[in-house]
Amino acid sequence: MAADIGSASHIGEGEAQAEQDERSALRQDQLHQGHVSRSKSRRHLSVVYSAAGSQTPLSMDRSFPASRLAQKRFMLDRTVQGQIGRMLREIFADVAEEPVPERFLKLLKALEAKEEQP
């Protein structure tokens, strides 16, 4: 359990604004995942797949969208999310893999030394 040190707090975020943003974000997510379908309803799912002739494992996934455009967007989004994740970790690792700067080594040594004084 992380102790709460430092000034108490979190940044004040208006609840109304947060809710609105969340609804809009959910709509965005749904668009990306193709759930907000512009054409085919789920009833036509099996017809679309057998007409296309392919049975990839992905098509068994209930969340995989029916329309071809929505499918494109779905695959595109997965690719983009994967890339976002990789780039985030790379940016973080850039700094996290650097050696500890001298200034902090000195600081810790000084703090330790101060402790040992009578």
Partner 1 sequence: MNSASASLKDALLGLIPNLRAFAVSLCGDIERADDLVQETLLKAWNHLDSFEEGTNLRAWLFTILRNTYFSECRRRRREVEDRDGSKAADLSVHPEQPGHLDMQDFRRALDVLPLDQREALVLVGAAGFSYEEAAKISGCAVGTIKSRVNRARSKLTDVLSVNAPHEYGPDAATEAIVARTVGGAR
Footprint on this chain of partner 1 (rule: CB under 8 A): 1-11, 13, 17-18, 20-22, 24-29, 31-32, 69, 72-73, 76-77, 80-81, 83-85, 87-101, 103-105, 107-108, 111-112, 115
User: Measured between alpha carbons, how far is 82 from 36 in angstroms, rounded to an integer?
Assistant: 22
Q: How far is the CB of 51 from partner 1 (least distance, A)?
A: 22
User: With respect to partner 1, which residue has the nearer C-beta, 60 or 95?
Assistant: 95
Closest CB to partner 1 among residues 55, 109: 109
- The candidate with the shortest Cα–Cα distance to 71, out of 115, 102, 40, is 40
How far apart are alpha carbons 72 and 50 in whole angstroms?
A: 18
In this structure, how many other beta carbons lie within 10 angstroms of the beta carbon of residue 66? Answer: 20
Amino acid at 25: A
d(CA 91, CA 101): 18
Residue with smaller CB distance to partner 1, 13 or 63 = 13
- Residue nearer to partner 1 on the CB measure, 41 or 117: 117
Min dist. Cβ of residue 63 to partner 1 (A): 16
Tokens 């679309």 correspond to: 48
